[in-house]
Amino acid sequence: MDLSLLRQMNVERAARRAAILVTDMTAGSQRLIKRNVAYSDDPLAEEFDKRFLSGKSGLVKTDAGEAFLTVSVPAPRLVLIGAVHISQALVPMAEIAGFNVSVIDPRTAFATEDRFPGSSLLADWPEDVLKVEPLDPYTAVAAVTHDPKIDDYPLMEALKTGCFYVGALGSKKTHGKRLERFREAGLSENVMSRIEAPIGLDIGAASPQEIAVAVLASVIKALRKPEGVSP
Amino acid sequence: MQDGNSRTASDILATTQTWKEAGRSVALATVVETWGSAPRPTGSHLVIDADGNFEGSVSGGCVEGAVVAEAIDVIETGKPAMLEFGVADETAWRVGLSCGGRIRVYVEPVN
């Protein structure tokens, strides 16, 4: 492996950008594919699409024989909009499951260190926080404040960014109104259909803690069984 | 998508860069294929230097010794090598996978 390729790969990783190192197993030659640099002309383009979603390394057949794809994708993140009761349960659960979790809520009565000890808690508007820490495709977003003033912006950003999971708390009626607002903002039906609402896997969750389990289950499902990727 | 394994794998790539930049001769071993109940998934890395120091893993510790020995050869010759380990292999009597799986490991020099 060429040191400069290795350096580039590590740079992408540090910046939370996905990349694939392609090693031709016959010739031994290598090249680096970056997710944010067009690669559609590459004969393996379709394979790259799948691998960027699944994050799995592996061998593929090529015209020349075999190539090994070393897939590097960022660690999964969960961004919770709303420092509410559900989030208090969800933060430790998601951390145990291996996610980097942050909570955003501009309401300082909710976003307190007492309620979220040791968590990455940002007591600011999502608009301001996401400017500094932008979303990316390896981030899940769950909006649970019930307040459109807080939830709408990060939800739309999550859809535009292609976050691997986008969920929003609220009844079917609340979600209907949300969709009306998003439609007026110019979002397509196709894009809006990616929002999971009501939020969480349908396990009949009743308490905030149970809803947290349901949300985490949905996030893991979106991560491990992404649509369009065979297991 | 991502998991503990891929995170570890990328840490090893960072270590590989650090070692190489510190002037050490380095080889990188990668699990490229697995069959059966292999202990570490495809894409797992082990980095080795010319003195036999290593970080990471390609199995549960069963075949690392053999990979390190091969890697020192790879560093000397500058040529990559493909290794295979498993119960079906005759080397299993010496170094094999106790779990009964089989793995293929690609070892390449870092230049």
- Residue A82's nearest CA partner among A173, A6, A149, A163 is A149
How far apart are the CA of B90 and the nearest CA of chain A, in angstroms? 24
- The pair phi, psi for residue B49, each rounded to 5°, is -110, 175
Q: Which domains are seen in chain A, by residue range? A: 3-72 (no CATH), 77-224 (3.40.50.720)
Q: How many CB atoms lie within 10 A of CB A116?
A: 21
- The reply to whether A25 touches chain B by the CB within 8 Å rule is yes
Q: Does pLDDT of A84 surpass 70?
A: yes
Q: How many domains are there within chain B? A: 1
Q: Compute the mean pLDDT over every residue in chain A, rounded to the nearest whole number.
A: 93
What's the mean pLDDT in B90-103? 60
Kindly list the distances between the CA atom of residue A57 and the CA atoms of A68, A223, B76, in Å, as whole numbers in the listed order: 8, 16, 28
In terms of pLDDT, which residue wins out, B90 or A142?
A142
Place of tokens 């840490």: B11
Residues A145-195: pLDDT tens digits? 999 999 999 999 999 999 999 999 999 999 999 999 999 999 999 999 999
Per DSSP, B36 falls in state S
Chain A residues closer than 8 Å to B35 by CB: none
Q: Compute the mean pLDDT over every residue in chain B, rounded to the nearest whole number.
A: 83
ipTM here: 0.80
- pLDDT class for B62, splitting at 50, 70, 90? confident
What's the CA gap between A72 and A9, in Å, rounded?
8
- The pair phi, psi for residue A216, each rounded to 5°, is -60, -40
- Determine the residue type at A205: A
**What local confidence, expressed as pLDDT, does residue B94 receive?**
54
> Which range of residues forms the domain containing residue B26?
4-110
Chain A residues closer than 8 Å to B3 by CB: 55, 98
What's the mean pLDDT in A53-76? 91
- pLDDT class for B55, splitting at 50, 70, 90? very high
Residues A85-100: pLDDT tens digits? 999 999 999 999 989 9
Chain A residues closer than 8 Å to B7 by CB: 75
- The reply to whether B22 touches chain A by the CB within 8 Å rule is no
Cross-chain residue pair B21–A28, CB shorter than 8 Å:
no
Kindly list the distances between the CA atom of residue A143 and the CA atoms of A78, A221, B71, B99, in Å, as whole numbers in the listed order: 11, 18, 49, 44
- Determine the residue type at B25: S
- Determine the residue type at B6: S
Residues B2-19: pLDDT tens digits? 344 444 566 899 999 999
- pLDDT class for A63, splitting at 50, 70, 90? confident
Structure tokens at A193: 């259909």
A94: Cβ contacts below 8 Å, ≥ 6 apart: A78, A101, A216, A219
Tell me the angle at which helices A85-96 and A208-224 cross, rounded to the nearest 10 degrees. 40
**What local confidence, expressed as pLDDT, does residue B2 receive?**
38
- pLDDT class for A117, splitting at 50, 70, 90? very high
